[in-house]
Amino acid sequence: MVQYYMDYSFSSFLALDCNRIDFIDAWLTHHSIQHSVIKFGDKRHIVVRFPAAHYDPRFRMKTLVAHHDRALNTPGANDNSAACFQLMLFADELQKSSAFGGQTFTHNIRILFTDGEEAVGKQGIRGQGSFRLGVGLKSIGEENEDMFVFDATGSGDTLVISTAGISSAESGSVGEKLAILHEKALQIAKIVSPENWIRLPTPFSDNAGFLASGIPAQVVTVLPHEEATNLLMELSMGTEEEKKRINQAIVLNSHKKKDERLLSIIPKTWQRMHTPLDTQDFLTTDAFAIIRKFLLELARRKDIVS
109-114: strand order across its sheet: 35-40, 43-49, 109-114, 62-67, 146-150, 218-223, 158-162, 197-200
Q: What is the pLDDT of residue 3?
A: 54
SS3 20: helix
Rounded to two decimals, what is the model's pTM? 0.94
Return d(Cα 69, Cα 247) in angstroms, integer: 25
pLDDT of residue 245: 86
pLDDT of 121 reads 61
Helix axes 285-300, 174-192, angle to 10 degrees: 120
What pLDDT shows up at residue 251? 79
Q: What is the mean pLDDT of each run of 10 residues along the chain (306 residues)?
A: 60 95 96 94 94 94 97 96 96 83 85 90 79 88 87 98 79 84 97 96 93 94 97 88 86 69 91 95 95 96 92
Which residue ranges form the domains of the chain, and what is each CATH number?
4-225+282-300 (3.40.630.10)
How far apart (Å, rounded) are the C-alpha atoms in residues 162 and 199? 6
